[in-house]
Amino acid sequence: MRITVGVDGTRYTDEVEPRMLLVHYLRERLGKTGTVVGCDTSNCGACTVHLDGHSVKSCSVLAVQADGCEVTTVEGLARDGRMHPVQQAFHDNHALQCGFCTPGMIMQAIDLLADDPDPDDHAVRHGLEGNLCRCTGYQNIVRAVRDAASKMAPGAGPAAEQVSDSAITAREASHTGGGS
């Protein structure tokens, strides 16, 4: 089947097998290896990407289902050589150990913050519960998400301006009736 999909701001048209998973399309065809293959059963969340502004586990989505959609991977978050505020917060708060879950955690955290820009610890834990960290770095991950939220708050400075990420932009458009 022929699909056309936008990935990290670039449009791709490819022939894919109907059964090809989005995670394999991103990694094998497009070289987006930041999208990690974890469990292949949608249990771990390591493969989380944004599909039209909402987080999805790309091991549970067929590439053909992304036809006509916009996909953002962890590689597509940085702008002008600067990390996305959530990426920076994960770095600043040492919210990783082995790093395997980190891309999925970051993508899910951005989606969480689009829905709840000022979550408490409980809300962060609840919002990330579908993503697993085998190194048990949850304390630092929660701290990083809360730190990112504070830096992304209106009037928080340059980091707040960078939050033109596709997840938030698409979510705002859908809430105002101009969505995809």
| Strands in the chain per DSSP E | 2-7, 10-15, 48-51, 54-57, 70-72
111-4-7-135 Cα dihedral, nearest 10 degrees: 60
Predicted pLDDT of residue 164: 41
Residue linked to tokens 């980190």? 102
Select from 76, 95, 124 the last residue of a domain.
76
* 55 and 134 assigned to the same domain: no
Cα separation of 116 and 7, whole Å? 25
Select from 15, 42, 76 the last residue of a domain.
76
* 134 and 111 assigned to the same domain: yes
Residue 100 neighbours by CB distance under 10 Å: 17
* 56 and 101 assigned to the same domain: no
Q: For the domain that residue 94 is a member of, what is the CATH number? A: 1.10.150.120
Domain enclosing residue 37, as ranges: 2-76
Predicted pLDDT of residue 40: 74
Select from 56, 76, 96 the last residue of a domain.
76
Predicted pLDDT of residue 28: 97
15 CB-near residues (< 8 Å, 6+ apart): 1, 2
- Which residues face 60 on adjacent strands? none
**Averaged pLDDT, groups of 10, the chain, 180 residues long:** 98 98 98 92 94 97 98 96 97 93 97 97 96 90 98 72 46 39
Q: At 7, is the secondary structure helix, strand, or coil?
A: strand
Predicted pLDDT of residue 157: 62
* 67 and 122 assigned to the same domain: no
**Does any domain span residue 9?**
yes
Contact status, residue 69 vs residue 51, Cβ threshold 8 Å:
yes
**Does any domain span residue 180?**
no
* 94 and 50 assigned to the same domain: no
